[in-house]
Each structure stands twice: as structure tokens, then as C-alpha cells.
Chain A
């Protein structure tokens, strides 16, 4: 019955957020009843596949669960969501790029940098709201003038089948975890056994004709090596435990929350530790790497919190 579950997962992706769990539960019951009635208690894989193909494309099946009264018709929902995501992403990239241009072209102090980083998120929020609002109004007006033909009951033909072809997005995060484990191990090895590699890396940077705003204080790393070891070990253990339990959805959620919080906390600590940076004249150097890490992890943590809130809302329904 894995094919049925894959099919249900595909349907679920296109269902309205509110009440999707109960719709999937109902649909599972309907489909299994019908499969059993038609093919008995042990249907073959091809029988199930053929049945699901006839039942309908997951996206089209899901669309039928949308209420008929919509400001924006259900047929435009996918396009709407795509454009919304694009607006937020494009605005964020634009403000981040503008921040880096400002950072490299002017002499920003620490407090100014912090304010500028915060303003990336604030500006992204306000500009996204304006952009999404404008697009929403545009789509509502367009929907009023362009009549959307409601789906004719029973006249829709199955043009394509996604049955059994759903691939979980787990694969993507799995690659991230593997890279993260390798990266964490590499950092542990460098700070414990070859800290001078950091200085050599900086020398290479300078020899290439580039300008460094500061150097890393190796003494500081040696002094706090136990703290770093603790952090990176926890990080590696967390990733390995996740790697083993990656099929458990609840574990994935806990891992994401813990991992982003942990990395963000360390990034902030390292960013603020002035003793770590020698001959400080500017941000370019390891501090910039920490700053990027803080920005990325803040963004990911924000996304994670949103995802968690939506999941809770979904469970409430």
C-alpha cells in the first residue's frame, strides 16, 4: 500500500492548509475500501497504480476539495503561491546584495553592521508585503474579468499520472546533513590539530593581493578549544542521530529547530567576541563568514518557526 501513501502525500501537498490531515484520512479510507472491493485484500502493485491513475491526478483531486467561494480561484492558487515565494526571495536577495555592497564600499562599525543586518529583514518584510499586496489586488481584478470555468463533474480527463512517483523532499535535507557532518568534522580536526592552517589560509588571501580587515587570534582558539569541541561534537551527534532517524517526521522537526538555534547561537557569540580578531580594521575575514552564517541561520530559523506554526495550525484542524 506504499503506492497509496505516496499518492496521498502528493494529494496532500496541493490540499488547503486547513483540514488537510482529516481530508487525507478520509481519502485513505475511501481509496482502500474501493481497492479492496475491486481487487481483493492483496492487490498487485500494477492494479493499485492503474486504479490511482483512473482516480485522478493528485493535483486535480486536491483541487476538488477547495471551497467554491474564493476571492482568487483555486486554479490560480499554485501560481499565486509561486509568485508570493518569488517576491519574498527576490526582495531578500536584493536587500542582502545591497547590504554587502554597502559593507564593502563603506567603513561600517560593529553596531552599524548589526543595524544594517536587522534592516535587511525589516526591509524584506515591508517590501514583500507591498509586493504581495499589489500582486493580490492585480489577481483579484484579473479573476473578476476573466471567467474561470469551474471543473465539470466527471468530464476531466486524466492527462498525466503522478502515482507512486512522489519523491520526499527528505533527499535534499539528507545531502545537507552529510555535508554538515563532514564540515563539522573538518572544523574539529583543524582547531584541535592544525590551527595554524587558519593563519596560512589568511596569508594565502593576502598574498593573492586581497585585503583582510583582521586576523584570527589563534591563542583565543587554543584557549577555548574545549568549548568549541563541545559545540561541534554536539552538532555532529545531533546530525548523526538525525541521519539514523531521518524517516521520523517529528525527529526532523526537532533536529531542524535545535540545529538552527545551536548554529545561530554560536555564530552570534563568535561575531561578538572581539578577542578573536586581531588588528581589526574591517569586517573582511573570518568575521564575515560568521556574519553570513548568522544571516543564513536566522533566515532558516525564521522559516522553521513559520513551518512549525503552520503544522500546529494544521493539527488543530
Chain B
């Protein structure tokens, strides 16, 4: 692997890591289970490592950003996640920050053109 590819791959991964929580919270507005969340995120064209996502769901639940419930109505128990009230407030702040950040980056790009 060339240096260029290696470095860009690393930086892109860092980008994705940084916004992964934001992406997950956005996709948990409605109740979802682990694998369906993976599908939803991947449908948007963002590749995701499942073995990274599942521990993240647990951490977000611990931080009270997500609430969860085991469903036993299906063929096997399945854990459903949904954004909590606290998570909604955090997501709102993140969304504002994200929009603000994009605006600022656009400004920087326009300035250097």
C-alpha cells in the first residue's frame, strides 16, 4: 500500500470515527435493532465496522444517550435501541455544531480559492 493511500485511508477513518456517534444518534430516532442499524447506515453509503458499532451502542446506552429494550416477541431475543430524551438534546447540539462546522470549512475553502 502506498503512503498516499495509507495516510488518506487513516484520515478518512478518523473522520468517520469522529462522526460515528452523530450518525448513530441520527439513525436511532426510531427504534432499531443492531443489525438493522448497520443496514440503515450502510444504505447511506457509509461503510461501518460492526465489531466497532456494537460496543459503541453499549457505550451510548451507558451514557444515557440511547435507551434499549429486549424484545422477546420474535424468534429469538433482540435488543432494540432508541434515542433517549437526553440523547435528543445532545443530538440537537451536535447538529448545530455540525452545520456550523461545515459553514466554517466552506468559508475557509472559499477564502483560499
Binding-face segment, B47-55, B94-102, B105-113: B47-55
Interface of B is mostly: helix
Instruction: Please state if A64 and B55 are interface contacts (CB–CB under 8 Å).
Output: yes
Residues of A within 8 A of B9 (CB): 155
Among A32, A33, A65, A153, contact of B17 (Cβ-Cβ < 8 Å): A153
Within 8 A of B (CB), among A29-64: 29-30, 32-34, 37, 55-56, 60-61, 64
Instruction: Please state if B34 and A25 are interface contacts (CB–CB under 8 Å).
Output: no
Among A33, A64, A155, contact of B10 (Cβ-Cβ < 8 Å): A155
Instruction: Please state if A152 and B13 are interface contacts (CB–CB under 8 Å).
Output: yes
A153-B20, A155-B10 are contacts. A29–B50 as well, Cβ < 8 Å?
A: no
Residues of A within 8 A of B5 (CB): none
Residues of B within 8 A of A56 (CB): 51
- Interface residue A154 (Cβ < 8 Å from any Cβ of B): yes
Instruction: Please state if B58 and A26 are interface contacts (CB–CB under 8 Å).
Output: yes
- Interface residue A23 (Cβ < 8 Å from any Cβ of B): yes
How big is chain B's contact interface, by range?
20 to 34
Residues of A within 8 A of B50 (CB): 30, 34, 55
Residues of A within 8 A of B59 (CB): 67
Within 8 A of A (CB), among B53-92: 54-55, 58-59, 76-79
Instruction: Please state if A33 and B34 are interface contacts (CB–CB under 8 Å).
Output: yes
What are 18 A-B residue pairs whose CB atoms fall within 8 Å in the complex? A23-B58, A29-B33, A29-B34, A29-B76, A29-B78, A30-B34, A30-B54, A33-B33, A33-B35, A34-B38, A34-B50, A64-B52, A152-B10, A152-B17, A153-B20, A153-B52, A154-B13, A154-B47
